[in-house]
Chain A
């Protein structure tokens, strides 16, 4: 399982990287960030890029910062960054909750947040999170910068709105209010496996009633999304088990689940019902 040959480029500045991408993308050139998904694909020779543009050396793409009311996550930020206590507030709590489910410890040392977004695997936890929170994806090319809403970014399985010459340079996550309650729940065959389905929820309580509800589903459909029908059940109600169960049922009814060899559509539907309920219960 040795990869096919490729030419290797390691730019140190962003403009250099964008220029390389513009030139090489049409010649089967790809970005190498964490490599935790791309390299195995190359080992199986399912991908044979003729050029790899390694962006790990571009300092500008490193790091996480708070800007205005959002958390800006640079392209080279590793999953492991979110394990630490560095990121404060409810958003930090949520990120710490979710990151534990991403693959395994050594994968998290190299794999990147933005790489997951670009890869658009339905079972990606970060993809679910960005859609649930209405994040903004920042895509840059030699032609300029685009700000793309997460809901518009993921198009189909492993397919995004990103053009061939574009690089995700950052993702902006809106900060969460201090009284936001969050929950995340997924089911996979073994710990660390690709999730068969997942639910990410967030809400506040105003006078004891649910407000600002977000119910995001991942793994169950071709792309992750918020389920309005489930959110509608929650708004203005008490945070109680019966309400949560109803929201779960609504989410299950609203989705068009994907099916594969081992997971019939109905199984994912049933999981979504369970996981939404449990995520809400854990948030309360």
Chain B
């Protein structure tokens, strides 16, 4: 099918790409824009490894076509740090051993960044609900929960 010219605004930089409509947002971010931090784990919207922020909302980039993201503000894991300074969530993941193989990590980071930027005070129940959106096969989740709680405290304190 005919290709479409689109502009993807990723982490503040404009990427002009020409893509078939059927190309998923995940594939275009990775292969056309060269940002491979967003990972593909299932391609049917269950594992959450492909989570990015689209206009502030955490979404599964394998369930969107790139053409749908034309001119929307997209944020990926590559855009989290400020220069050499890691985002509080990134630092918390390191400090609390919240990753082993690291494949699910970008998805968890974007999921929680998106959620915590919109809601500062979260109950334990809400947090677990949100975290149950994504799959991790290595850690058993214990340290992911610890890391996100610690980062949430830090993020709400610095507001």
Q: Which residues of A contact B (CB under 8 A)?
A: 1-8, 10, 32, 35-36, 39-40, 42-44, 52, 54, 56, 80, 100, 104-107, 109-110, 190-192
Contact = CB atoms under 8 A, between A and B. Distances in A.
B87 to A, nearest CB: 19
Contacts of B51: 106
A176 to B, nearest CB: 25
B63 interface: yes
Given A36-B63, A52-B21, A8 B133 contact: no
A42 B130 CA distance: 26
A106 B133 contact: yes
Contacts of A8: 1, 4, 21, 65, 67
Contact of B132 (A5, A36, A42, A104): A104
B60 A106 contact: yes
Given A36-B63, A39-B64, A7 B1 contact: yes
A109 B57 contact: yes
Given A7-B1, A39-B64, A191 B45 contact: no
21 contacts: A2-B27, A3-B22, A6-B22, A7-B21, A8-B1, A8-B65, A32-B68, A35-B63, A35-B65, A36-B45, A43-B43, A43-B62, A52-B21, A106-B58, A106-B59, A106-B133, A107-B45, A109-B57, A109-B59, A110-B60, A191-B129
A54 B24 CA distance: 15
Contacts of A100: 129
A3 B130 CA distance: 28
Interface in B7-50: 20-22, 24, 27, 43-45, 48
Given A7-B21, A105-B129, A109-B58, A40 B64 contact: no
Contact of B22 (A4, A36, A110): A4
A5 B58 contact: no
A107 B1 contact: no
Given A6-B1, A44-B44, A39 B20 contact: no
A39 B111 contact: no
A223 B95 CA distance: 50
A56 B65 CA distance: 12
A40 B64 CA distance: 10
A5 B115 CA distance: 34
B68 to A, nearest CB: 6
A11 to B, nearest CB: 14
Contact of A40 (B1, B45, B57, B59): B45
B62 to A, nearest CB: 7
Interface in B43-92: 43-45, 48, 51, 57-60, 62-65, 67-68
